[in-house]
Amino acid sequence: MPPTRKKLDVIKCVANLTRYLDIRNDTTLHEEFTAWLKRKEIKWSIKPTIDNYHLSEKQTLENVVETIRKLPYRYKIFALFVLVSGLRTEEAIRAFNNHSSLCHGGIMELFWDRGTKKANAVFCHPLLHDKINFKMSRLIYTKIGKRTVGYELRFLRKLNFTMVATEVDPLLAEFMQGRRGNVSQRHYFLPSMERFKKKYEILWSELLSNCIGNTTEII
């Protein structure tokens, strides 16, 4: 079978069945099944249905912004926040919901550490700042996904990196996405954020203005 969600469901079902039989009949079927999977090099994972490299060729920034423009107000604002901040979706939800306590002078100092994933500091664009006045839930995953807009929310993070790295500063882009930034580096990057802040705001201003317009209603 091709590496799809259906194949993964079949493997999980067989694994659960062998566990049940082992408990019921004192057998070692589950151990034999997992050994067989390893011997056949069958993975407990699935290949993404959309390759990010090919997706980036199909979904340009203009196309993505057009899909965001058509979203209901609160999902539109959150999607734009993800796009211009470059945060992972989980990080974006947390930062969005705690915006009032985290945003100081247009910079959100996060410095979160979640295993191998880090979040340092990101900009808060002034055109979004006053519009972040509601909470966002994990329901966003069902509202913005491959079935609804043709890409996953995490794809916006990749677009952000490309834009910031090419139009502002590549090292700053890596810092803002948590790819670099130990304790000593923070003393370098945080002042540089102030230096690049205006350039960052100009980079996204036209896009945000065209996408948001004069809409203020929360749906």
Q: Give the model confidence (pLDDT) of 63-111 as tens digits.
A: 888 899 999 999 999 999 999 999 999 999 999 999 999 999 999 998 8
148 falls within a domain: yes
What are the residue ranges of helices labelled H in the chain? 5-25, 29-39, 52-58, 61-69, 73-85, 89-97, 99-102, 126-129, 140-143, 154-167, 170-176, 183-212
Predicted TM-score of the model (pTM): 0.71
What is the mean pLDDT of the segment spanning 5-20?
91
Q: What is the mean pLDDT of the chain?
A: 86
Residues 109 and 201 in one domain: yes
Residues 128 and 165 in one domain: yes
Band (pLDDT 50/70/90 cuts) for residue 185 is low
57 token code pair: 């060729």
Residues 11 and 107 in one domain: no
Q: Is the pLDDT of residue 218 over 50?
A: no
Least confident among 85-89, 129-133, 157-161, 176-180: 176-180
Query: Residue 125: which of 154, 163, 153 has the closest Cα?
Result: 163
88 falls within a domain: yes
47 falls within a domain: no
Region of residue 213 (phi > 0: left; psi between -120 and 50: alpha; otherwise: beta): left
219 falls within a domain: no
pLDDT at 30: 93
The total number of structural domains in the chain stands at: 2
Domain extent, residue 86, equals 52-212
Residues 34 and 91 in one domain: no
Percent of the chain with pLDDT over 70: 89
Whichever domain contains 114, its CATH number is: 1.10.443.10
Q: Is the pLDDT of residue 2 over 90?
A: no
